[in-house]
Structure 1
Amino acid sequence: MNIIVCGAGQVGASIARQLADEHHDVTVIDIEPELIKRLSNSLDVQGIVGHASHPDVLERAGAASADMLIAATYSDEVNMVACQVAHSLFSVPTKIARVRTQCYLMRDRRTLFGPDDLPVDLIISPEHEVAHAIRRRVDTPGAFEVVPFAEDRIYMMGIAIGPDCPIIDTPLQQLTELFPDLNVRVVGMRRGDTTFVPTSEDQLLPGDQVYVVTEKAMRNRVLAAYGHEETEARRIVIIGGGSVGLNLARELEASDASFNVKIIEISEGRAQYIAEALNKCVVLHGDALEQEILREANVAMADTVIAVANDDEVNILSALLAKREGAQRIIVLVNNNVYGPLMPSLGVDVYIDPRATTVSTILRHVRRGRIRGLHSLSGAKAELIEAEALETLDILDTPLRDLKVTAGVRFGAIVRGADVIIPRGDTVIKAGDRVIIFALAEQIKKVEQMFSVQLGYF
């Protein structure tokens, strides 16, 4: 595909990198020459310096032959105008815009976006996506990554294997015998810097990270089997009252569960604004790096402290200080991927990479065919894909053990009507099934080739 990415900041660069790695023809536009130079030197992309919404710049970027435009600059207005110009002058088929300002995204104003108004096919709001991702982790303590599929019926969970895990050194094939009524499948493992699809003889070791697929209703039982029986959080402290912090607080307030939420915000004006925007949350004005404000927020009694300020260093340090004060669990928002590998050794329970959620949303539209859901695993170089099985698939009604599935790919779950099936060797795929697939990054193209002609999955 020919894809134009507007914006070479963190989000735009991450999108461009992923698309370039998949051998799409990518052109990146940004007003900053240094950013364009850096990307052009490190990636197989074309870089253009200029205003992304200007017709002449889009023309130089090849908009006339582009299949997709992804507008991810720091300006919502530039992103929207770029989509309008791409539509009106160049007839670009698919336009995606990053929109951060919440007043554009209010429910009664969504009519702004459509073919007869602002022609944006997909709106990305990283702040909303990150808030949802954090909320899922709040609801599922013990998992460092949680992704729903099939209308929230299937959960993929990332689980860290600790030294006290009761199934250490147990071959995976024996787990079915140990837990015969547990509908779960291990689809991937990460050991050190290596991510792989395990065999039935592989064993879990302390320090491993495993990715499992299960029914939503069984997620707590699965976590307990893997040594995680943390209680659900009710006392929560949020550090940072920006868009992510405010969206998260609103989600918690709207929940049926009873949460006790406090927010620490360093800006007095912003603290006043969010205090007026929220109904139940307590808002404290102060610096989360100061012990006094942490104690005023009573982090020692907090089930979970969530650091989502606009500064990575503030998030990491304030969360670690809160944990030293006695907080049971800390969740940290980290934009700089350099910090990601350091998080477990520092004692961070969960870290959120906002770019991973954004890239996953976009890739769902880049993949061809009946993709219902997709998630790119942060740092693991793998994806989980939810695809619909069409009647033309030539492997229908064939036992999975007899299929020539490429190495690095595993079927995680099948949703058939009201039934959720965790596949085994004798399981067959039928027309209309929703299939959850785990694939290593280097195998995605092979999966695409395997299914595209008959299925149109990708």
Structure 2
Amino acid sequence: MKVVICGAGQVGFGIAERLASEQNDVSIVDASPRRIQIATDQLDVRGVVGHGSHPDVLARAGIEQADMLIAVTLHDEVNMVACQVGHSLFNVPTKVARIRAQTYLQPEWRSMLSRDHMPIDVVISPEIEVGEMVLRRLSLPGAVDTVSFGDGSVVIAGVLCGEACPVVDTPLNQLTQLFPDLPATIVAINRNGKVMATRSSDQIQTGDIAYFVAPADQVGRTLSIFGHDEIPAKRIIIGGGGNIGLYVAQELEKRNAAARIKVVESNRERAQAIAEGLSRSVVLHGDSLAREILDEAGVADSDTMIALTNDDRVNILSCLLAKQLGAQRILALVNEQGYAGFAHGLGIDAYVNPRQITVSKVLQHVRRGRIRGVHSLLDGAGEMIEAEALETSPLVGRPLRDIDLLKGMRIGAVVRNGVVMRPSGDTVVRAQDRVVLFALADDIKRVEQLFRVSLEFF
């Protein structure tokens, strides 16, 4: 696949890194020579210095032969115009744009982003995606990672298995015997920073992060089996009143009538602006690294402190200070992958990585076959995937145990007509079933092969 990426920041670099590692033909465009130099030095990509919305720059990047244009610069308008240029002048089949300003995404204006006006095939809003991830973490405080598939019917959750975890050192096949009525499947384990697909004979060890797939209404019960009975937070402090912090506060006001929310924002004008947009939340002007501000916010009595500023170091340090002052749980927004690697070691209960979330969203549309959802683990070491099985798929009509292409993967659930089923070796996938599975990075091509659209389909 030939892909042109506009923007060589953290997100653009991350997408280029993933696609180049899978032997795609990638060109990356950025106005900064330094960013292009870093990208071409570290990745097998072609770099072009210039503005991503300029036709001559896109032409130098090879847009005429491109299958996809991904515009993820820091400026919404550049991303939108790049897609317009890619459509009008070069007839690029698929155009993806990152759009952060929520006014463009309001229902009354959304028709602007259509083929007849501003032809963008896929709109990615990082603030909404990250905000929804934070809200899922708040609703499932025992999980360190969560994602929803199957139109919300299936949840994948990662859970830290501590010394008190009741199922440590228990073979996975025995868990099925101990809890026969629990339709949850452990599909992957992160052990010492290395992720692996599970086998029935594997055992969970202390310190592992186990990833399981379960129906949405069974996630709480599954977490309790791992020793996590945490109650969803009601007293919440949000450090940072930017777009993400404001979105989380607004949604909490809508979804959780019992929530008592306090937002700490360092910019006075911004603090005044968001106070006008919130009805029940208390907005404090101050630094979330200042102890007196956290004391004023009532951190000692809080259930959860969420740090959502644009500075990773502020997020990590303010969370650690909040925990020292009495916050029961802490959750930090962490952009830099290097920081994410040791966040748990510092005592951060959970973190959210915007780059990983955005890259996962893009990969959902890059993957060949009927891929409906993608969630990247450990910066691309593995992926949780939701895909639709077609009549021509090698997966359809045969028991799962007889399908050689599944070796090294782990199916967590099959969704049929809205009903979530736990798979076994005898399970036979039917056409139009949604399959939720885990695969390591090296096995992604086989996943695409399993769910490809063959000529026989037409």
Where on the TM-score scale, by shorter chain, does this alignment land: which range?
Answer: over 0.9
Normalising by structure 2, we get a TM-score of: 0.97
Query: Cα gap change, 1:397/1:311 in structure 2, threshold over 3 Å: closer, same or farther?
Result: same
Q: CA deviation at 1:408?
A: 2.3
Residue by residue over 1:266-317, the C-alpha shift from the partner in whole angstroms, topping out at 9 and shown as x without a partner, is 0001000100111111000001111100000001111111000011110000
Aligned partner of residue 77 in structure 1, secondary structure: helix
Report deviation, 1:170: 0.6
Structure 2 unaligned residues grouped into runs of 5+ = none
One-letter amino acid matched to 2:338:
V
SS in 1 for 2:144: strand
Which residue number corresponds to residue 446 of structure 1? 446
Distance 2:394 2:89 in 1: 42
Residue in 2 that maps onto 1:248? 248
Q: Where do residues 301-450 of structure 1 align in structure 2 (5 Å cutoff)?
A: 301-379=301-379, 381-450=381-450
Distance in 2, Cα, partners of 1:8 & 1:362: 15
Contact conserved, 2:64 with 2:90, CA < 8 A, in 1?
yes
2-structure distance, mates of 1:237, 1:455: 54
Equivalence for 2:94: 94
Gaps of 5+ in 1: none
CA deviations over 1:177-205 (Å, ceiling 9, x no partner):
11111111010111112211122111111
CA contact (8 A) 1:390 1:431 kept: yes
Amino acid at match of 2:129: E
Work out the CA distance in 1 between the residues paired with 2:312 and 2:280: 27
Tell me what 2:144 maps to.
Answer: 144
For 1:333, the aligned partner's letter is L
- 1:395–1:3 distance in 2 versus 1, CA, 3 Å: closer
Does the 8 Å CA contact 2:396/2:431 hold for their aligned counterparts?
A: yes
Number of aligned pairs? Answer: 457
Per the TM alignment, residue 447 of structure 1 is displaced from its structure 2 partner at its CA by 2.4
Looking at structure 2, the residues matched to 445 and 392 of structure 1 have their Cα atoms a distance apart, in angstroms, of 17
Quote how far apart the aligned CAs of 1:424 are: 1.0
Note the 1:42-191 alignment, pairs <5 A: 42-191=42-191
Give 3-state SS (helix, strand or coil) of 1:37's partner: helix
8 Å Cα contact 1:144-1:349 kept in structure 2: yes
CA distance 1:395–1:246, change in 2 (3 Å): closer
Alpha-carbon separation, structure 1, partners of 2:392 and 2:113: 35
User: CA–CA distance in 2 between the matches of 1:6 and 1:269?
Assistant: 32
Q: Which residue of 2 aligns with 1:270?
A: 270
Change (3 A) 1:13 1:73: same
Q: Is the 8 A contact 1:394 1:454 kept in 2?
A: no
Identify the residue that residue 29 of structure 1 maps to in structure 2. Answer: 29
Query: Within the alignment, does 1:223 sit opposite 2:226 as a pair?
Result: no
After superposition, give the CA deviation of every residue in 1:123-142 in whole Å (9 maximum; x if it has no partner): 11111110000000100110
1:14 aligns with 2:9: no
Deviation of the 1:357 alpha carbon: 1.2
Alpha carbons 1:239, 1:307 under 8 Å: kept = yes
CA distance in 2, matches of 1:420, 1:124: 28
Residues 406, 443 of structure 1: 8 Å contact kept: no
Q: Distance in 1 between matches of 2:128 and 2:378?
A: 18
Mapped to 1, the partners of 2:77 and 2:405 lie a distance apart of 46
Deviation at 1:61, TM superposition (A): 0.8
For the 8 Å contact 1:300–1:325, the answer to whether it is kept is: yes
**Structure 1 residue 407: Cα displacement:** 3.2
Structure 1 residues 407-426: Cα deviation after superposition (integer angstroms, max 9, x where no partner): 32111100111421110111
- TM norm structure 1: 0.97
Distance change >3 Å, CA 456–CA 406, structure 1 → 2: farther
Change (3 A) 1:355 1:214: same
3-state SS in 2 of match to 1:359: helix
Identity %: 52
1:111–1:205 Cα change, 3 Å: same
Deviation at 1:257?
Answer: 4.0
| Paired letter, 1:25 | D
SS of equivalent to 1:151: helix
Cα deviation 1:79-126 (Å, max 9, x = unaligned): 111111111111111111111122222221112111111111111111
Alignment CA distance shift 1:272-1:453 (3 Å): closer
Per the alignment, residue 295 of structure 1 pairs with 295
Task: Summarize deviations over 1:390-436 as a string: whole Å, max 9, x none.
Answer: 12224423221222134321111001114211101111111221111
Q: What is the root-mean-square deviation in Å for CA atoms of aligned residues?
A: 1.5
Q: Is the alpha carbon distance of 1:56 and 1:372 closer, same or farther for their aligned partners in structure 2, counting shifts above 3 Å?
A: same
1:394–1:98 Cα change, 3 Å: closer
Residue 256 and residue 315 in structure 1: after superposition, are their counterparts in 2 closer, same or farther (change >3 A)?
A: closer
1:150 & 1:90 partners in 2: Cα distance?
Answer: 35
Q: Assess, with a 3 A threshold, how the Cα gap between structure 1 residues 34 and 418 changes in structure 2: closer, same or farther.
A: closer
1:51-95 CA distance string (max 9 Å, x none): 111111011111111111111111111111111111111111111
In 2, are the aligned partners of 1:390 and 1:455 still within 8 Å (CA)? no
Any conservation in 1 of the 2:388–2:451 contact (CA below 8 Å)? no
Q: How many angstroms does 1:344 deviate by?
A: 0.9
Q: Secondary structure at the match of 2:164?
A: coil
Aligned residue for 2:405, secondary structure, equals: coil
2:404 is paired with a residue of what secondary structure?
Answer: coil
**1:207-254 per-position Cα deviation (integer Å, ceiling 9, x unaligned):** 101110001111111000011111111111000000110111111111
Measured in 1, the distance between the counterparts of 2:69 and 2:370 equals 21
SS in 2 for 1:313: helix
Q: Secondary structure at the match of 1:26?
A: strand
User: 1:453 Cα shift?
Assistant: 5.6
In structure 2, do the counterparts of structure 1 residues 99 and 453 end up closer, same or farther at CA, with 3 Å as the change threshold? closer
Structure 1, residues 130-168: CA drift from partner, whole Å, max 9, x if none? 000000010011001111111111110011101100111
Q: What is the rounded CA distance, in whole Å, between the counterparts of 1:219 and 1:252 in structure 2? A: 20
Tell me the distance in 1 between the aligned counterparts of 2:80 and 2:117.
11
